[in-house]
Amino acid sequence: MTTKEKKTDNTQEYSLNVNVSPEILMQKAREAKARAYAPYSHFPVGAALLMKDGKIYSGVNIENASFGATNCAERSAMFTAISDGYQKGDFKAIAIAGDTESFLPPCNICRQVLVEFCSPKMPVYLTKEDESIKKLLLEDLSPYAFVTLDM
Ligand code: THU
C-alpha cells in the first residue's frame, strides 16, 4: 500500500500550493494556538506542519490534570500527520507560535520526535510577540541527534 492510499482526510487545511510561505505557515500556527487546551500552564502553543504535498497539519498543546500526560503542539501536529499515513520524508517545514517575548523553540522531547521523522535540513520557523520569524534548521536545534534508523 502506498503512502497516498493510506491517507485519510481529517486535515483542517488543504493547500495545493506546496510553496507555502513561512508567514502563511506561521499564521496557521497562530490560528491553531487559539485552540490550545492549556488550563494549567496558561501557555498556549500552536504548530503548523507543512507536508511536501502541500497539506498543512496544525497541532496544539493539550494539557492534563496529570501533568505528564500533556502533549505539546508540535507532537500533536506530527502525530496527526503520521496517523493519517504520512511517513519519513513527507515533511517540509514546521512553524511554532506561542505568546512569548522571545523566540519559542520546540522542547527537547518534540525535537526528538521531529528528528525521528524529518530531515536534519528541515526548516523550523519560530516566532515571538512582535511576530518576527526566525528560521532554523532541525539540525541547528538537535545537533548530534540520537537516531538508530537511517533517514
Ligand atoms: N509546549 C508546547 O506545546 N510546545 C513547546 O515547544 C514548548 C512547551 C507546551 C507544553 C505545556 O502545555 C506548555 O507549553 C508549558 O510548558
SS (H, E, C) 2-16: CHHHHCCCCCCECCC
What percent of the chain lies above the pLDDT cut of 90? 85
Determine, yes or no, domain membership for 19: yes
Would you state the pLDDT for residue 17? 53
Q: Is residue 149 a part of any domain in this protein?
A: no
**What integer is the mean pLDDT of 2-15?**
47
Cell representation of residue 5: 492510499
For 101, the domain range is 3-141
State the distance between the two ends of the chain, measured CA to CA, in whole angstroms: 20
Q: Examine residue 148 and state whether it is found in any structural domain, yes or no.
A: no
**Distance from Cα 26 to the centre of ligand 1, integer Å:** 17
Site residues for ligand 1, CB cut-off 6 Å: 38, 41, 43, 45, 61, 63, 70, 72-74, 96, 106-107, 110
Report the CATH number at residue 38: 3.40.140.10
- pLDDT at position 1 is 35
Binning pLDDT at 50, 70 and 90, where does residue 151 land? low
User: What's the distance, CA 3 to chain centroid?
Assistant: 20
Closest CA to ligand 1's atom 5 = 106
Check whether 105 has a pLDDT greater than 80: yes
Rounded mean pLDDT of 68-84?
Answer: 98
Stated pTM of the model = 0.90
Single out the catalytic residue among 5, 31, 74, 101. 74
